[in-house]
Amino acid sequence: MKKMLCLHGYGMNSQWLQEWLWPIEQQLEGVVRFIHAQGPIVAPTEEVRAMAARFNAVLPESRIGEGKNWCWYRADDAKPPIYHGIEASLAYLANIVATEGPVEGVLGWSQGAVMAAILAGESATIANSPFGLRWAILCGGFRPGDRRFRPYFDRPLALPTLHVLGEQESEFMRQQGHKLYASFVDAQRLDTPVGHIMPVKYPAYMKQISAWIDNQVK
């Protein structure tokens, strides 16, 4: 069975993303195994609340609290930002791939899409990359800002990608999503009628994502 790495967004956890992706996972049962990784860095509660407010998101209190909110890195306010802790996250993901892989592709949401883009960039440009990805799904993401990873995107990457962008996202996030889309040669775009969230309430869009994955693993 083919395997796909799944990376949640800032302030989330692996179970939360798994709930979102469950319809896709059901449609691909017996075809693709979803490996849900959890960020190893704690996301402070006050930052999680601030992030939700920034995206006009209603975040239930049951989603916030000790042991519930994690991330892949902490970006500082420098220009360009430094992604603190990302080295540990990359090592953690490399270990998952080494022990549970090989992994064909990756799906990342929001900050997880940034991580997925980094893994895709490394897979496409470094011969001995521990990830060896063949494709990626980047949802609500943006190009990595940390200068350490910019060389991956000096030229468009040939790795096949599906970019899931919410039509109700802010103009800034739409622009960032388009920049990420332009970073790949073999890229497809799926515009969904939502904001900064996966189209979990729109089965037709979730089916399009599962169909794209199914096409990649055939």
Name 126's Cβ contacts closer than 8 Å, sequence gap at least 6.
Answer: none
Measured in residues, the chain has a length of 218
- Please answer whether residues 7 and 106 qualify as being in contact, where contact means their C-beta atoms are separated by less than 8 angstroms: yes
Provide CB contacts within 8 A for 132, sequence distance 6+: 97, 101, 102, 103, 123
Which pLDDT belongs to residue 12?
95
Number of domains in the chain: 1
Return the pLDDT at 61.
79
Per-residue pLDDT of the chain (218 residues; tens, 9 = 90+): 999 999 999 999 999 999 999 999 999 999 999 999 999 999 998 888 888 888 777 777 778 888 899 999 999 999 999 999 999 999 999 999 999 989 999 999 999 999 999 999 999 999 899 999 999 999 999 999 999 999 999 999 999 999 999 999 999 999 999 999 999 999 999 999 999 999 999 999 999 999 999 999 99
Per the structure, the complete domain to which residue 40 belongs is given by: 2-217
Q: How far apart are CA 33 and CA 49, in angstroms?
A: 32
pLDDT of residue 156: 96
Helix (H, G, I), strand (E, B) or coil at 57: coil
CATH number at residue 140: 3.40.50.1820
